[in-house]
Amino acid sequence: MNLLEALKIINRSRNEPGKPFRLMLICGFTPLHMETFLAAHVASYGPLAAVTVSHGLYGDLVGNLERCRPSEIDAAAVVVEWADLDARLGARSAGGWDPSRLSDILQCVRIQLGRIGNALRSLEPQPVAVSLPTLSLPPVSFARPGQLSAFEAELRSEMALFAASLTAYPHLRVLSALEIDDRSPVNLRHDLKSELATGFPYSLGHADELARLLAGFLRPPARKKGLITDLDDTLWRGIVGEIGAAQVSWSMEGNAQVHGLYQQLLASLAASGTLVGVASKNDPALIDEAFARRDILLPPERIFPIEAHWGAKSKSIARILKAWNISSDAVLFVDDSPMELAEVQAAYPALECLLFPKDDPAALWNLLYQLRDRFGVARLQIEDSLRSDSLRSHAKFEAEIQSDSADIDTFLQHADAEITFSCSKQADARAFELLNKTNQFNLNGERLSESEWNSLLASENRFVLKASYKDRFGSLGTVAVLAGTCCVGSVMIDHWVMSCRAFSRRIEHRCLAWVFDHFNVGEVALRFVSTPRNGPLQEFVATFLGPLPWKSLQIPYSLFQDKCPILYHSLLEIL
C-alpha cells in the first residue's frame, strides 16, 4: 500500500456507518505515516470500517502507555524503538557511546522494559499489538558491527525474555521478529533523514509493512475452519490403488519427505481445532489399510469424515460440508490435480482451493506457511482439541436419533446429558469466538468486536450465561452463549448463539428455562433479527410464537411451560 492509497482508504472509511474503531498508536516517535498506514490497514481488514487513531506525546512512549485508559479505546498498537528504551540508542540524542556507559545503557533498558511491561499488562482486556525494536542497533558497542558484542548479546537476551513474558497475556499480541524480517528488508527500514528532520524513523515501505502486520492482530481476518485434503500424491506419494498401501510413502527414505511434512502440519492443525477431512477417488478398503500403517503421521482419528469413492470430488466436498455443517467459504481444499481443483472450484466458488506442489519443495514450504496462516490461532482452547471428536460423536448422535426418531424422548433420556452453566464474566475466548462465528442458531447475527464484548462483560446490569455440554457420546465443551439484561419482571436477551454441533439436544430449551428460573420473571423478550442464515434459531422461537412474522418478541413463562418438551439433562451451575 502506498501513502496515497492509504489516505484514500481512510477518507472512504470515514463514511462507513457504525461506531468508529478507536485505536491508539502508542510510540515515542512522531506518528506521521505510521498513523496513516495503521488507520488504513485496520480500516480495510475485513469489511471497511471507520477508524479514529489517537496518539500521545512525542518522545514519551512509556508515559503514553501509562496514560492510556483501556476504557477509552478499542485497541492499541504499541511500536517500541531503541530510543524508547534509552535515548542513547536513538539517532536524535548524543548522550555518549563511551564503552564505560554500556552497562548503564543496559540497566536503563531493563528499567524501561519493566515499566513498559507493567503498562502493557494494565491495558487488559483490550487487544494490544506490540512491535519491539525493528531498526538496526546503532554502532554503540566498541566491537566491529559483524561481531556479536557482549553488550548486544545481553541486550538481545533482555528483549527476548521481555517478549516471552508478554506472550503469557492473551490481550497482548507480539509481532514475531522473524515475520517482519521476512517482509521488510532490514537495510531499507531506517530513514535517518526523516528521523532527524521530522522525528519519524521509518521508511514508508517499512511503516506500511509494520502497520499491516500489527493491524492483522487487531482486526484479524476470519480463520478458516476446515481443510479437505486429497490422498494420492498429496497426503502420500504414490497411487495407493496401483502400488498398494504398503508402498505409498511420506518419508525421507521413500524420497517423499514433502508429504511427511504436510501430514505433520495437518496433524498439528487437527490438534489445534482445525477440521480435517479427506476427499479421494479411491477404494475405501485400501485407504483404511494405508491409515492403519504404524508410521502414519496423520492418524485417522484426527480425520473426519473420509469420503472415498469414484464419484466427483465436488460430491465428496458437499457431503463433508454437510457433516461439518459449515459454509464453503470457511473451508480450504488441497489437491495435486489442477483438474480436480477446477472441478471443485466451479461447484464451490467461495471455497479456497490450493495446489499441492508435490515436485517443488520450496513451494511446499510456502504452502505449509499459507496453511498455518489460514488456520492459526493465538492460543488453544479446550474446545479446539474436542472439535473433531465432537463432530464424530454428533454424527453418531444424529444417526441414533434418526434410526429411532419415533422415540426421541427415550433416546434423550438415556443420553446421560449434563449441562454446566456458568455466569462468570471473566474474559472468555471461546464465548467470544462462538458469538462471532455462529450463524445458524444466532439471535440477530450481530458480531461484536473484542472491546464491545469486554464492555458487555464489564457492564454491571448485564448477565452472561455460558453452557457446556457432555453426554455419553462425548463432550462438546462450551456450546452456547446468551447475554442480556434483567429489569423488573422481564428479561431482555440481546445475544444468543449456540454451536450447530449442539442441535437436537434441547440445550436451547434448557438455557431459556434457566433464564426463567434464575431471574424468576414472567416473560423473556428477544432482540431477534432475521438473517439469511439463522433459520434454526427461527424454528426454535417458532415453537413458542408460531410461524413468522411474529407480532411480539416476548415469550411468556406460561407459554414456555406449555410448549417446552421434557428436559433430561442433569445440571451443574457455576455462578
Partner 1 sequence: MTALKDRLSDCFCAVFPNRSREELLTASRESIPEWDSLTGVTMLMLLQQEFHLDIDLTELENFDSVQAVYDYVAANATAPEEPHGS
Q: Would you say the C-alpha torsion 235, 237, 242, 247 has a positive or negative sign? A: negative
d(CA 384, CA 223): 13
Q: Among residues 10 and 467, whose Cβ is nearest to partner 1?
A: 10
* Identity of the residue, 20 or 556, whose beta carbon is nearer to partner 1 in the bound complex: 20
Read off the DSSP letter of residue 73.
Answer: -
H or E stretch covering 318: helix 313-324
4 vs 178 by CB, closer to partner 1: 4
Q: How far is the CB of 136 from partner 1 (least distance, A)?
A: 22
Nearer to partner 1, 190 or 281 (CB): 190
Backbone CA torsion sign across 63, 66, 67, 68: positive
d(CA 57, CA 72): 17
Q: Using alpha carbons, select from 22, 73, 13 the residue that is nearest to residue 46.
A: 13
Beta carbon nearer to partner 1, 37 or 516: 37
The CB-of-519 to partner 1 minimum distance in angstroms stands at 49
Instruction: Supply the angle between the helices 150-166 and 102-121 in degrees, to the nearest 10.
Output: 10
Rounded alpha-carbon distances, angstroms, from residue 277 to 187, 230, 235, 305, 334: 44, 9, 12, 5, 11
Between 33 and 495, CB nearer to partner 1: 33
The least CB distance from residue 2 to partner 1, in Å, is 5
CB of 93 to partner 1, least distance (A): 20
Nearer to partner 1, 138 or 205 (CB): 205
Whether 126 and 451 have beta carbons less than 8 Å apart is answered as yes
Enumerate binding residues for partner 1 (CB under 8 A): 2-4, 7-8, 10-11, 14, 30, 32-33, 36, 193, 197-198, 200, 204
> How many whole angstroms separate alpha carbon 501 and alpha carbon 495?
19
- Amino acid making up residue 368: L
CB of 212 to partner 1, least distance (A): 16
Give the HSE-up count for residue 489: Cα atoms under 13 Å, Cβ half-sphere.
3
Closer by beta carbon to partner 1, 21 or else 291: 21
Q: Minimum distance between the CB of residue 43 and partner 1, rounded to whole angstroms? A: 13
User: 74 φ, ψ to 5°?
Assistant: -100, -25
Q: What is the CA radius of gyration of the chain?
A: 27
Rounded least distance, CB 3 to partner 1, Å: 5
Q: How far is the CB of 194 from partner 1 (least distance, A)?
A: 8
Choice between 33 and 374, CB closer to partner 1? 33
Number of H helices and E strands in the chain, helices first, is 22, 18
Q: Check if the beta carbon of residue 201 is closer than 8 Å to that of residue 91.
A: yes
CB 302 within 8 A of CB 270: yes
- Please count the other Cβ atoms lying within 10 Å of the Cβ belonging to residue 460: 5
30/490 with CB nearer partner 1: 30
If we measure between CA atoms, which residue out of 8, 25, 138, 10 comes closest to residue 73? Answer: 25
CB of 36 to partner 1, least distance (A): 7
Least separation in angstroms between residue 55's CB and partner 1 is 11
- Distance CA(449)–CA(74), nearest Å, equals 8
